[in-house]
């Protein structure tokens, strides 16, 4: 949430409309993300329901702009988190089932548009500073269920992300998790190895039912935008985050090495390289930014005025942004758009 909700949706529509008119393919206009929702504390049901609901909100917004469903639906992609809860093992198949049914029956979309593409990143929230080496084990299991569930792409977290930007050594280990599963783990060489499993089929039905129930709760509040006005999604995420933290601290949610099976020798001090920018690097970035701004000052002033006029006249902002970034910094562009498009403010 950066710009006012209405203006943000308008900008999203501008991007997709530009893609359609210029026949941009094999590049996704939006990553409809649930990862940040999960990282903020949502459970897997809320993550999936809020993310899919956001996706359908984009669809409705694009259709209202006059775009055809099959011109933009293939250019949508989703981004989920995989944690340790059992529901994560079916998050992809549930998403695909709900999306395909809605695309076919509600929107009359073609077969290509019915196919939901999604990326999985293993859970950053499940990484802990205590017994940090254990994080690779958690990431391996999360990666395994992502591959079993046929995700389109996968990011495996590095074990030291609990405290720092990953080091070269930890990134190589994270990459090795994927390589070993894909190149050495025999079962992963079979597509959809969990198909027909009782627990997977049962979980799929249960998670789908729970997501559809959450859709009803959102619809009762006026849809995604109406629910945002009353802070419904934010409040639910905060409640679920508090519940998780409470269970983690009282031990009812066991986390090995953190609140159970603690190291009897105490928390070992691990020497790890902390990735931090030097003062020289910071100054260098600021200097280059100021040089860019001063070098392009005359052109930037005219461009900012032009950009604001396009917004006021309801033109396609994205088409102009491609030129604007050549002479304006991100901060200059953002400030200019705040003045005419509004800044997001949470309803209290």
**CA pair distance 89, 147, nearest whole angstrom:** 10
- Average pLDDT, integer, range 85-100: 98
Q: How confident is the model at residue 347 (pLDDT cuts 50, 70, 90)?
A: confident
**CA pair distance 327, 193, nearest whole angstrom:** 52
**CA pair distance 151, 77, nearest whole angstrom:** 11
* Res 1: pLDDT: 80
Q: Which residue would you say has higher pLDDT here, 77 or 275? A: 77
* Res 268: pLDDT: 62
Q: Please state, in angstroms and as integers, the Cα–Cα distance from residue 80 to each residue in 118, 213, 243, following that order.
A: 7, 20, 21
Cross-strand pairs, 120 = 80, 154
Across all residues in the chain, what is the average pLDDT?
95
233: number of Cβ within 10 Å = 21
Question: pLDDT per residue over 271-301, tens digit each?
Answer: 777 888 899 999 999 999 999 999 999 999 9
* Res 276: pLDDT: 85
Q: Write out the E strands in 116-211.
A: 118-122, 153-155
Q: Which residue would you say has higher pLDDT here, 346 or 245? A: 245
**CA pair distance 303, 325, nearest whole angstrom:** 10
* Largest separation between any pair of C-alpha atoms in the chain: 67
Q: Please state, in angstroms and as integers, the Cα–Cα distance from residue 238 to each residue in 16, 37, 234, 242, following that order.
A: 32, 10, 6, 6
Question: pLDDT per residue over 100-113, tens digit each?
Answer: 999 999 999 999 99
- 3-class DSSP state of 316: coil
Exposure string over 95-109, b if 16+ CB within 10 A, otherwise e:
bbbbbbebbeeebeb
**CA pair distance 205, 218, nearest whole angstrom:** 20
Q: How confident is the model at residue 348 (pLDDT cuts 50, 70, 90)?
A: low
- Average pLDDT, integer, range 7-21: 96
Question: pLDDT per residue over 124-142, tens digit each?
Answer: 999 999 999 999 999 999 9
Question: pLDDT per residue over 175-220, tens digit each?
Answer: 999 999 999 999 999 988 999 999 999 999 999 999 999 999 999 9
Nearest to 321 by CA among 339, 336, 333, 305: 333
Is the pLDDT confidence value at 326 over 70? yes
Is the pLDDT confidence value at 171 over 70? yes
* Res 118: pLDDT: 98
Is the pLDDT confidence value at 270 over 80? no
Of the ranges 31-35, 86-90, 156-160, 261-265, which one carries the lowest mean pLDDT score? 261-265
Nearest to 161 by CA among 272, 251, 41: 272
* Res 272: pLDDT: 77
């Amino acid at each position: 949430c950066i710009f006012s909700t209405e203006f943000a949706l308008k900008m999203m529509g501008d991007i997709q409309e530009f893609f359609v008119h210029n026949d941009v393919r094999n590049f996704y206009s939006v990553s409809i993300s649930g990862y940040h929702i999960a990282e903020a504390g949502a459970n897997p049901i809320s993550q999936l329901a809020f993310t899919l609901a956001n996706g359908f909100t984009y669809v409705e917004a694009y259709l209202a702009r006059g775009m055809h469903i099959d011109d933009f639906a293939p250019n949508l992609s989703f981004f989920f988190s995989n944690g340790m809860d059992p529901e994560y093992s079916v998050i992809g198949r549930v998403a695909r089932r709900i999306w395909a049914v809605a695309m076919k029956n509600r929107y009359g979309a073609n077969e290509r548009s019915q196919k939901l593409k999604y990326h999985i990143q293993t859970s950053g929230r499940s990484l802990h500073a205590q017994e940090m080496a254990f994080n690779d084990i958690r990431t391996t299991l999360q990666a395994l269920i992502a591959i079993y569930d046929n995700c389109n792409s996968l990011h495996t977290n590095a074990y030291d992300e609990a405290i720092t930007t990953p080091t070269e050594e930890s990134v190589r280990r994270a990459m090795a998790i994927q390589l070993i599963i894909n190149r050495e783990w025999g079962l992963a060489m079979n597509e959809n190895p969990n198909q027909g499993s009782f627990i997977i089929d049962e979980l799929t039905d249960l998670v789908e039912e729970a997501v559809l129930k959450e859709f009803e709760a959102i619809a009762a509040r006026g849809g995604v935008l109406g629910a945002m006005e009353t802070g419904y999604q934010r409040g639910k995420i905060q409640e679920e985050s508090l519940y998780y933290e409470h269970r983690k601290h009282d031990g009812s949610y066991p986390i090995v090495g953190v609140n159970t099976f603690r190291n009897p020798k105490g928390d070992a001090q691990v020497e790890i390289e902390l990735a931090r920018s030097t003062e020289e690097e910071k100054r260098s970035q600021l200097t280059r930014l100021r040089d860019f701004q001063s070098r392009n000052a005359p052109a930037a002033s005219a461009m900012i005025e032009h950009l604001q006029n396009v917004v006021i006249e309801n033109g396609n902002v994205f088409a102009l942004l491609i030129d604007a970034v050549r002479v304006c910094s991100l901060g200059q562009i953002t400030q200019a758009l705040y003045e005419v498009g509004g800044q997001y403010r949470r309803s209290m």
